[in-house]
Structure 1
């Protein structure tokens, strides 16, 4: 039996870290939360190095499914809150559930090393303690990722990653090329037209562009309210595509390539303005880049353009600077985590919030937090539920919809939200079995 106190360390004070802390605190578990910055917020903490918010940023998921069900956003918030409202909401959530009292701010984790049955955690603030369970919530958007392999040639202009984008003023008077077709790339291409001399937008494939509103409602709400109107999923998707087309949101109508995957086969691009500005000539769409020469960018279709600044919206790499990489099992560039959260080879550390899904924060935050609570209780109690779960994580292959999505780096951790939540609830219930663990029969 471990002699360590039954205490949990959480690394990261973004929405996931706060959400996990809330459920543990309410469940009677002692928590220490370590945050590198002076306050909570994670990517929404725009004034801090960890912040990824820029001046004009609004949520791409609506208020109704971003808010935690039992802690609604203020009534006066719009359907799609801006980043300042989101930050205020996150901090009010932390305050309401006592998370501030358990936080160590300005305490970046320097090292996390195995020691006995636990982990020794050391921070830049001088904290040094061993914990029997650590929850890593340091976020997905940390180390900028660039095209790999790099495009041929050398570009002589400015290069920026979306990580460092704060305002369209950074692009003022410049000929700008935005690279990347995800939500950040599309939003910033639109933002750039306010100040840039010209805006090109390079994407490698066709995308579905979803408006933020249909029939006077946030589009995700409109989709959910379709319910079982159609007999099959295929009929539902065909109807949604036709509505988008009639509303002016079919990229092919603007000369863009058609997607070669189903409407729900990639993370949705929620943008009401990109196609509008393409249609008005404010944004010039381009295909993939063939190479650079000075300030000349050559594209795969044989065209070329002169640009002053290339802004890469090409994602982020996983980064756990405090943890020896060899302690984890890896699948390509990402850790091999059961349910995108649980190492198969380690039983006293979880990674929460490392998931993409087409949905808001609220339901996922609550479900992840309650999963961690049951895991902590089972681990500390050495229960039969823990025993069953540890066996399951080594053998089970729950369907999270993974094989349905397009083959790209970011879609390695994309999941069907409802499948993921259902499986997390199922395993959470398994962990709730509080009977003592069964002793293994001795080998004869």
Structure 2
């Protein structure tokens, strides 16, 4: 009769428990948006390191394909939005359309042979001390790797409804800007748009062009800058000036030009923050509004600016200044949030789903955990993260594999 020692039984039990795990010779990347594509391309093209991208949706860049409005264009010039190793096709305009950007990402994936596993939403990811690897559970299986790259980005889930009382009472059409496609659905309607960022402004502008009457709720102070200055992009000018001048001087210049262009926006109900636009973006991630025509409609009264909402009623809203109005529809242009806390078990990210470590060191955690696209610096930050993460993993990968 054969006997098995307790240690051997434990080893066999561990082996059986791990039989269903799909081991990945390279990092697991969660998310097939620009961040995931960029780091995968850098790994394979620059370093010959394979990777596996897990994506919960059925396509790359699902946020761009399924959760954006039709008239959307990149807010920054294309040269600030290119991913590593592959530029935009010739003939694309300075500010590519949504369709052009998606086409670029599809070409990017094809160029580098990137084939994400779609329909693989991650339920849980945690570092397994026994395996000495990251264990990633999805709806269709469990994967493991020495490295895990979080590439789901800062804008994975709609957010911002906290603090708005009574939304459940409203009898009209209630939607988030992630579901808004075109003003064609709102012709002739009075529409309350909650939020005055780039999305809120552009939704209001689109509604005007479809003969709707938008009322924009301004909940916070906001910087509004012209998209272009002196024939050049405002962002491009700011980036060039920052090479030579301190941040506070560049901010003063931007505010001065904006004031000369738009006048005193406080008279329109748009109060500027005391902190300058570039510093505010660096510290909080709050992007200034780059105007593409909404401000002239606010000045003419086609877009009406309202105070903060006190509560939503069955037929409309009550405002902080005591007024009450009826609306046919409400659109929540209240932004997005990270989805990381819902699936990743790690102290590297805080409760808001952002790295606790501050920029520029927020791309690398412990035990082979990495983050791409969480710098609050847009696609430029994505490219920088992707290059650094790929270099770091490649060094370790080659040490292990010889």
**TM norm. shorter chain > 0.5:** yes
Q: CA, structure 1 residues 249+382, in 2 after alignment: closer, same or farther (shift >3 Å)? A: farther
1:209–1:250 contact (8 Å) kept in structure 2: no
Partner residue in 1 for 2:311: 291
CA shift, 1:378, in A, is 4.7
Q: TM-score, normalised by structure 2?
A: 0.82
Indicate the SS of the match to 1:13.
coil
Establish whether residue 23 from structure 1 lines up as the match of residue 42 from structure 2: yes
- Give the alignment partner of residue 52 of structure 1, picking from 64, 67, 70: 67
State the alpha-carbon separation in 2 of the partners of residues 33 and 236 from structure 1: 39
Residues 148-197 of structure 1, C-alpha deviations (whole Å, 9 max, x = no match):
23325843322211121122223233211111122111111111112353
Correspondence for 1:99 among 98, 110, 114: 114
The change in CA–CA distance for 1:18 and 1:291 in structure 2 (over 3 A counts) is same
CA contact (8 A) 1:11 1:17 kept: yes
- Among 114, 133, 137, the residue aligned to 2:151: 137
Match of 1:72 in 2: 87
Q: Deviations over 1:219-260 (max 9, x none)?
A: 212333446776x54443333222222222642253433433
Give the drift of 1:307: 0.9
User: Would the alpha carbon gap of residues 349 and 196 (structure 1) be closer, same or farther in structure 2, given more than 3 Å must change?
Assistant: farther
TM-score (norm 1): 0.74
Cα distance per residue 1:109-154 (max 9 Å; x no partner):
3443443211233434x34332111112123333322332332584
Q: Is the partner of 1:347 in helix, strand or coil?
A: coil
Deviates more, 1:373-382 or 1:174-183: 373-382
Residues 372 and 382 in structure 2, CA contact (< 8 A), matched pair in contact too: no
Q: Give the direction of change, closer, same or farther, for the CA distance of 1:41–1:329 in structure 2 (3 Å limit).
A: closer
Matched, 1:148 2:162: yes
The alignment status of 1:238 with 2:252, answered yes or no, reads yes
Residue of structure 2 equivalent to 1:219 = 234
Q: Quote how far apart the aligned CAs of 1:36 are.
A: 2.8
Structure with the larger RCO, 1 or 2 (CA within 8 Å, 6+ apart): 2
Moved more, 211-220 or 278-287: 211-220
**1:328 CA displacement:** 3.2
1:171 aligned onto 2:193: no
1:292-313 deviation line (CA, Å, top 9, x unaligned): 3322312112222211211111
Correspondence 1:349 to 2:369: yes
SS at match of 1:53: coil
5+ long unaligned stretches in structure 1: 384-444
Structure 1 pair 41/270, CA: closer, same or farther in 2 (3 Å)? Answer: same
Shift in Å, 1:317? 3.0
Q: Contact (CA 8 Å) 2:55, 2:118: kept in 1 or not?
A: yes
Change (3 A) 1:378 1:228: closer
Checking the alignment, whether the CA contact within 8 Å between 1:57 and 1:83 is kept in structure 2 is: yes
Looking at structure 2, the residues matched to 186 and 207 of structure 1 have their Cα atoms a distance apart, in angstroms, of: 11
Contact 2:341/2:352 (<8 A) preserved: no
- Map of 1:208 onto structure 2: 223
**Cα deviation digits, residues 86-107 of structure 1 (max 9, x gap):** 001111112222223xx32333
- The range that moved more, 19-28 or 244-253, is 244-253
Asked if the contact 2:187–2:211 (Cα under 8 Å) also holds between the matched residues in 1, the reply is yes
- Tell me the distance in 1 between the aligned counterparts of 2:118 and 2:393: 23
Aligned to 1:368: 385
